[in-house]
Chain A
Amino acid sequence: MPALPLDEAGKYVAASYVVFVALILIYVAIIGAKIARIERQISELVEDDE
């Protein structure tokens, strides 16, 4: 197959990099939510202790 013109190839390249960034962001967001939950639970534990 001949090389795609830049305007068409750009869409595929952008899509690939967006997939990578999106997956990493989703992953970091999930871990961030988990850490926020742990922090909240620690606060509850400290309040109970006081």
Chain B
Amino acid sequence: MYSKGLAPLAAAAAVTITTALALVFFYAPNDADQGFVQKIFYIHVPMAIVALCGFVAGGIFGIRHLRSGDRSWDMRSYVAIHLSIILGLAVLITGSIWAKASWGHWWLWDEPVLVSFLVVFLLYCVYYPLRFSIEDPDRQARYSSVFAITAGAFVPLNFIAVRLAEKYTHPRVLSQTGGSLPGEMRLTFLVALLGMALLFVTLWKLELTAKHASMQLKRLRNRARVAA
């Protein structure tokens, strides 16, 4: 069910990420201001964008679950949020490394980009205790969907907060006027973003496949127990 198209998707993700890495290290020029350390940008920013999109997707799946009552949508929502939290952790770690290399500090509390992402990350960390503290599967799915929708609506505020902030330390790569990235850097960034998105969808489908197989197995075992 979920494994359909997984192999070509995984191959596309592998090819795109390999291409992105080649572009990062052999094609994109070093940043005039930050030098070689700016290469972190090509992994850090795509991960952040994909993680935030994953959180929003979790909210959209939550809406579909509440509207249809089909728990498979809750499972999709859970896996999207779960993967986004893992990516979010990587974003915080790589962001911290980049901050240390660029600004000389592991963390800056007056930097809106870092703090707003941390707020979103911590918000979603609440999802696990909320979900797994409810034993009844239907209530668990319903409450989790409500959380996913509410938190998912909060995520765009992260972008707005950053845009409204006075200090712009990070380069603006997706502005309406075309951003500040030169052509080679822009192409590299877009390929890295595509690779990250493909990787996210591949892992999402992989985990859904594993979860679905596990549930089917449980059903079979119950049936075998009843038959015995």
Task: Please report A residues at the B interface, Cβ cutoff 8 Å.
Answer: 1, 3-4, 6, 9-10, 12-13, 15-17, 19-20, 23-24, 27-28, 31, 34-35, 38, 41-42, 45, 48-49
Contact = CB atoms under 8 A, between A and B. Distances in A.
Interface in B70-103: 83, 86, 89-90, 93-94, 97-98, 100-103
Interface stretch (B40-48, B54-62, B127-135, B150-158): B40-48
A3 B37 CA distance: 8
A8 to B, nearest CB: 8
Given A19-B93, A35-B210, A3 B34 contact: yes
B interface SS class: helix
Nearest to B83: A27
Binding site of A, secondary structure by majority: helix, strand, loop or mixed?
Answer: helix
Contacts of A41: 217, 221
A19 B203 contact: no
A40 B55 CA distance: 33
Contacts of B100: 12
Given A9-B101, A12-B98, A45 B217 contact: yes
Given A1-B103, A3-B34, A38-B213, 18 more contacts: A12-B40, A12-B97, A13-B36, A13-B37, A16-B44, A16-B94, A17-B43, A19-B93, A20-B43, A20-B47, A31-B210, A34-B210, A35-B210, A35-B213, A38-B214, A42-B217, A45-B220, A48-B224
27 contacts: A1-B102, A4-B35, A9-B35, A9-B36, A12-B98, A12-B100, A12-B101, A13-B37, A13-B39, A13-B40, A16-B44, A16-B94, A17-B43, A20-B43, A20-B90, A20-B94, A23-B90, A24-B199, A27-B203, A28-B206, A31-B203, A31-B207, A34-B210, A38-B210, A38-B213, A45-B221, A48-B224
Given A9-B37, A12-B40, A38-B213, A4 B90 contact: no
